[in-house]
Amino acid sequence: MLATLLAAVVILIVGEAVVASVTSVLWLQRLGPNTAKFVSDQTRLATDDPMAGAALAWARFLPAPDSASDSTAAGWMRELLGLAPGRGGALPAYPIRPADVVGTGGSVLPLFVAAEAGTLPAGLRDTLAMLADHPRTALFRRIARVSSAVRLLAATGEPFSATPMSGARPAHTTPLEDAVLANTAGAVVAVANHDWRAATARIGETAAFALQLLRAPDVRTNQIGFRILRYQVLGPLAQLARRRASGVDSATVADAARLLDQAVPFANGAAGLMVNPADALQFTAAVQNPDVPAGYRVIWLLDGWAGLCANPWEVLTGPSGARKQAMLAAADVMSDVPHARSLAAFGAGYWELGAPEVGHTSLAHTLLERGPWGVLWRVRQCANAI
């Protein structure tokens, strides 16, 4: 009986080692092309700086900065998102969803065409003017002038802080997009009045706010920022360029649309730079790069834990002490990302059977971590990390 038990244990150990080795080989083979593309993309972004080129289209229309205090700016953002009432109580809701009137994506452009041609129906024009002058839109315009508003709120953990393990739609998406579209309604009304300066001012405010979203440590918020620049800034500017309104140059806007697409970072492959935690310079440089939207860098930081998939021993036993140290050191250089170190520690739990801390050392945890369930858990995680 004892011999049988010992034989089973030996077979189990040998089986786990084989599984770990095969997992590492397959993971490296599958991740290799993504890592090569990631490195190439990092070089391209550093060399070409497409975002700086795209910004030429809207830079002259950005609003003058507001000198509001940090507490005031954060309060305005919380009020817009419905997280807290303002001094006058809760902001009234839009009586009609801006998306139902203005449209979304490229569907906003026909409004600008009709406004320029003078064919915008009077009733629709009145509705657009109501949205443009709504208290929510007025607050949005104030927030757009305070470049720190999103960053300040992210530092408190709501709601622009990273939540990378959740696939849920961000709760702040709807009020943000409503306010952006309502401000776009103001640009349409201005075009209908042939007031090109007012139209570009509204578009500039929207661009300024989108740039704030690109600094949020949440990749989904960054993606909203890119989408706003594409459809609520460059789309309308392209329409105004056809009239050569307010000096909007059609070639510059067309170039900006192309460059904006190139400015979106490649999201996968960062784990390949953390195969060897003793050589993390390239990985650390990527997560530190201030020219890349913060949310993408948070995703790369968390993906760094998956570098253990290349090491059979770490697949068997969990993240090594060297990897934990390297990951926390990489997080520490992300000075523009609130709570980066806590995020890195949180990510470790997904490779340690949900351990709440990087340094979890209890005996029960260690036995579970290094047993068959721990191996199975990491094999599954590695399969999902490509």
Q: What is the mean pLDDT of the chain?
A: 85
Instruction: Please indicate, yes or no, whether residues 35 and 87 belong to a single structural domain of this protein.
Output: no
Instruction: Write out the residue range of the structural domain in which residue 74 sits.
Output: 55-263
Cα–Cα distance measured from residue 225 to residue 51, given in angstroms and rounded to the nearest whole number: 13
CB atoms within 10 A of CB 301: 28
Beta bridge partners of 86: 89
What 3-state DSSP class applies to 229? helix
Instruction: Please indicate, yes or no, whether residues 186 and 170 belong to a single structural domain of this protein.
Output: yes
Average pLDDT of the residues in 212-233? 92
Cα–Cα distance measured from residue 64 to residue 204, given in angstroms and rounded to the nearest whole number: 10
Q: Are 247 and 60 in contact (CB under 8 A)?
A: yes
Among residues of the chain, what percentage have pLDDT more than 70?
A: 84
Among the residue ranges 94-108, 179-193, 242-256, 366-380, the one predicted with the least confidence is 366-380
Instruction: Please indicate, yes or no, whether residues 7 and 64 belong to a single structural domain of this protein.
Output: no
H helix runs in 233-311, sequence order: 235-241, 250-263, 281-288, 294-303
- Domain endpoint, select from 230, 263, 296: 263
pTM of the entire structure?
0.86
Instruction: Please indicate, yes or no, whether residues 97 and 198 belong to a single structural domain of this protein.
Output: yes
Instruction: Please indicate, yes or no, whether residues 61 and 185 belong to a single structural domain of this protein.
Output: yes
Among the residue ranges 7-16, 44-53, 322-331, 371-380, the one predicted with the least confidence is 7-16
Instruction: Please indicate, yes or no, whether residues 156 and 189 belong to a single structural domain of this protein.
Output: yes
Instruction: Please indicate, yes or no, whether residues 36 and 62 belong to a single structural domain of this protein.
Output: no
* Among the listed residues 210, 232, 230, the one whose alpha carbon sits nearest the alpha carbon of residue 221: 210
User: Based on the structure, what is the number of domains in the chain?
Assistant: 2
Instruction: Please indicate, yes or no, whether residues 165 and 229 belong to a single structural domain of this protein.
Output: yes
Cα–Cα distance measured from residue 130 to residue 138, given in angstroms and rounded to the nearest whole number: 11
Task: Provide the pLDDT for residue 368.
Answer: 52
Instruction: Please indicate, yes or no, whether residues 247 and 215 belong to a single structural domain of this protein.
Output: yes
- Domain endpoint, select from 238, 263, 288: 263
Instruction: Please indicate, yes or no, whether residues 203 and 112 belong to a single structural domain of this protein.
Output: yes
Task: Provide the pLDDT for residue 334.
Answer: 94
Instruction: Please indicate, yes or no, whether residues 102 and 233 belong to a single structural domain of this protein.
Output: yes
> In the predicted model, is pLDDT for residue 8 greater than 50?
no
> In the predicted model, is pLDDT for residue 170 greater than 80?
no
Instruction: Please indicate, yes or no, whether residues 226 and 298 belong to a single structural domain of this protein.
Output: no
- Domain endpoint, select from 229, 248, 263: 263
Task: Provide the pLDDT for residue 7.
Answer: 35
Task: Provide the pLDDT for residue 14.
Answer: 55
